[in-house]
Amino acid sequence: MFKIRLLLLLVLCNLFYAQKNNTENIAKSVLKNYSYQELEGKFYEISPDDTNGRKNIAKSYLEKAKSDHDETQIAEAYIMLHFDESLPNALKYLDSVQMITRQSKEIYYPARTFLLRGNLYFKFDNLQAALNNYVLGLKYAKEKGYKRQIAMANISIAYLKNYIGKHAETVKTLRYYLYNADYLNEDEHNLLKINLADAYIDGNKLDSAFVLIQEGLEASKKNKNLYSYYQNLGLLGYYNYSLKKYNLAIENLQQCKKYFFTANYKSKRNQNYTLLNLGRSYAGLNERAKAIENFAKIDSMVLKTNYVFPELREVYTYLIDYYKETDDREKQLYYVERFLKVDQVLDSRFRYISRELPRRYDTPNLLQEKEAIIRELKYRKIFFYIALTALFIIISLLIRFYLKYKNSERKYRKIAQDLIQAVNENESEKKPEIKMEAVAEEVPKKTETGVDKIPKTVSEDVVQTILKGLSVFESKEQFLNKGITLGTLAKMIKTNSKYLSEVINTHKGKNFTAYLNDLRIDYAIGRLAKDKKFRSYKIPFIAEELGYNNEQAFTLAFKKKTGTLLSVYLKEIEKAVNSIDPI
């Protein structure tokens, strides 16, 4: 199992380690001429193993900040300086950062200091202190609502969960941030993939791990990033070991061993886990001497670095059993003692992390989730009542509309039935005296005495001539001609438009348009009721026969004149005909 340095160490505050072969110290005299941004860029571009070069840049940054009396930049310089110091000195720098930024209004403080301190403790294998600082960093990040720091804290805590065997929870967190945190850059996503692949293997999700490993190998080749390439190759070795493809695993891991033990930047995690999986693979092939060689080397490294990890129990158990079988009591006793010391550390660490993670991280998160669920249910309840009210209003409106429609339908049917009855009762072809709910027409104006105002501009002879012309116009059904206007009708009866208009208004009680429409609609009422063939025509054809330009003009005129719909009238005619002469 590979344990990669925490992402926070690489990403918080834009701290990115790029693997570059820049090992030369930069002259202080040159650095003085650089801006803060340029110095910061050079610091994070330089290879992590070039500690002297990094320190020179950080010191130049600090001198510049102090000469400018810029406390914000002084804090940045202390952050740069803490990376390459021992634990006590690094903590002093971070304490200074905390003091300087205690009144800072920047969104990333104070969470930044706690997260950096957590990384530092993790680097020096004090997982208890690392957890405490990550939890505090997460708390302050949430208070400020800074998504990036929240992500970094959760990712770091996920690694600790993987440490105590909660692989599924680790996978859930890492996968979420890999595919949902668009505020992380490419390097950060690549590191997430490495750690997620590692957690997949730990959780026996080998297919998922293989996909990520292949992506990592291709990306590191493309970017010519050797360090990332061998990290992914080491994971491939772990993957092949998990599949019991021991020879392939050894081939991968031997390459990694050569790189991690000779590269300028040495990682004890990478070194230890390379040896661990090599030893495991040789043990799988029953090449016990080679397995012992790798496991014994791990023990010697633990003695020098005090770096312990859970799989050491497996290492010491194998060593003890081997020397017991070979009857080497001295080495057996030595490794028993080493095992007891390491086990005590691991047990203490495991118990602390196992106890504190649920208490300080899982439980608060669950309580937050509970509150979120309660809020969501509350909002859903409010939304439900709003939706219910809206639905009630809609249903009420629909019922009202339906009742209104039914009332209108009954009214339309009654009017249509009265029209049909009137037509049947007037066999002499008189105009039916029908009570219709027509829209009010223009009527002749009356004087104050109530007597119709007779136009004084038209003589009685002219009036009679016009009325005779109108009678002929009606009897010959010339009103059915298309395109009839006041002017064309005036020419037909040899008068002028003004006189004709005044006579129609006075003697017909309506304007010319209403007079023409009434004639056509009265004709339509009678013919539709009596002429089955005419009734069978489509409405546009009927409208044209009646002199209208289009169907809409006809149906609107019919509704205005009769107070009912043409479609209702036609239906009632069919009902009446069928009731008299059923098929």
Q: What is the mean pLDDT of residues 519-524?
A: 91
How confident is the model at residue 33, as a pLDDT? 78
Residue-wise pLDDT for 253-280, tens only, equals 999 999 999 877 678 889 999 999 999 9
Long-range contact list for 539-543, CB < 8 A, 24+ apart? 539/566
At 456, the pLDDT band (50, 70, 90 cuts) reads: low
DSSP H or E segment with residue 118: helix 111-123
How confident is the model at residue 99, as a pLDDT? 94
How confident is the model at residue 139, as a pLDDT? 92
DSSP H or E segment with residue 151: helix 147-163
User: Percentage of residues in the chain with pLDDT exceeding 90?
Assistant: 39
Which whole-number Å values give the CA distances from 229 to 19, 213, 214, 220, 565, in the listed order?
11, 10, 10, 5, 82
Nearest to 269 by CA among 456, 122, 67, 370: 122
How confident is the model at residue 385, as a pLDDT? 84
Distance CA 173, CA 197 (A): 13
Residue 393 included in any domain: no
| Number of domains forming the structure of the chain | 1
Residue 238, pLDDT above cutoff 90: yes
Residue 330 included in any domain: no
> Within 13 Å and on the Cβ side, how many CA atoms surround 541?
7
Residue 106 included in any domain: no
How confident is the model at residue 13, as a pLDDT? 38
Token pair in block for residue 495: 């008068």
Residue 14, pLDDT above cutoff 50: no
- Min mean pLDDT across 109-113, 435-439, 506-510, 537-541 is at 435-439
Residue 484 included in any domain: yes
Three-class secondary structure of residue 434 per DSSP: coil
Residue 368 included in any domain: no
* HEC-encoded secondary structure of 394-405: HHHHHHHHHHHH
Residue 286, pLDDT above cutoff 70: yes
Three-class secondary structure of residue 252 per DSSP: helix
Distance CA 557, CA 482 (A): 15
Residue 108 included in any domain: no
- Supply the CATH number for residue 524's domain: 1.10.10.60
Dihedral of the CA atoms 207, 173, 132, 44 (nearest 10)? 80
List the end-to-end C-alpha distance of the chain, in Å, as a whole number.
91
Distance CA 484, CA 357 (A): 94
Q: What is the mean pLDDT of residues 313-338?
A: 93
How confident is the model at residue 457, as a pLDDT? 64
Instruction: State the DSSP code for 477.
Output: T
Q: What is the mean pLDDT of residues 324-344?
A: 91
How confident is the model at residue 74, as a pLDDT? 92
Question: Could you please report the per-residue DSSP string of 280-343?
Answer: HHHHHTT-HHHHHHHHHHHHHHHHHH----TTHHHHHHHHHHHHHHTT-HHHHHHHHHHHHHHH
Q: What is the mean pLDDT of residues 364-368?
A: 62
Q: Any idea which residue has 């005590």 for tokens?
A: 344
At 120, the pLDDT band (50, 70, 90 cuts) reads: very high
Domain that holds residue 512: 444-580
Amino acid identity, residue 34? Y
Q: What is the mean pLDDT of residues 530-544?
A: 89
How confident is the model at residue 82, as a pLDDT? 93
Residue 117 included in any domain: no
> What is the model's pTM?
0.59
Residue 451, pLDDT above cutoff 50: no
Three-class secondary structure of residue 103 per DSSP: coil
Which whole-number Å values give the CA distances from 541 to 103, 533, 535, in the listed order?
87, 12, 10
- Say which residues have a Cβ less than 8 Å from residue 71's Cβ, sequence separation at least 6: 65, 100
How confident is the model at residue 43, as a pLDDT? 87
Distance CA 281, CA 250 (A): 6
How confident is the model at residue 166, as a pLDDT? 86
Three-class secondary structure of residue 26 per DSSP: coil
Peptide bond between residue 455 and the one before it cis (omega within 30 degrees of 0): no
27 or 83, greater pLDDT? 83
Residue 334 included in any domain: no
- Min mean pLDDT across 71-75, 87-91, 397-401 is at 397-401
Residue-wise pLDDT for 400-450, tens only, equals 888 888 888 888 888 888 888 888 877 545 544 444 444 333 444 444 434
Q: What is the mean pLDDT of residues 274-288?
A: 96
At 242, the pLDDT band (50, 70, 90 cuts) reads: very high
DSSP H or E segment with residue 467: helix 460-475
How confident is the model at residue 428, as a pLDDT? 47
Three-class secondary structure of residue 482 per DSSP: coil
Q: Counting beta carbons within 10 angstroms of the beta carbon of residue 288, is it exposed (0 to 12), middle (13 to 18) or buried (19 or more)?
A: middle
Three-class secondary structure of residue 488 per DSSP: helix
Residue-wise pLDDT for 30-81, tens only, equals 677 788 888 888 888 876 667 888 888 999 999 999 999 999 999 999 999 9
* Mean pLDDT rounded to a whole number for the chain: 83
How confident is the model at residue 366, as a pLDDT? 56
Distance CA 200, CA 171 (A): 7
Q: Is the distance from CB of 155 to CB of 119 less than 8 angstroms? A: no
> Within 13 Å and on the Cβ side, how many CA atoms surround 559?
10
Distance CA 195, CA 201 (A): 10
Q: What is the mean pLDDT of residues 235-261?
A: 95
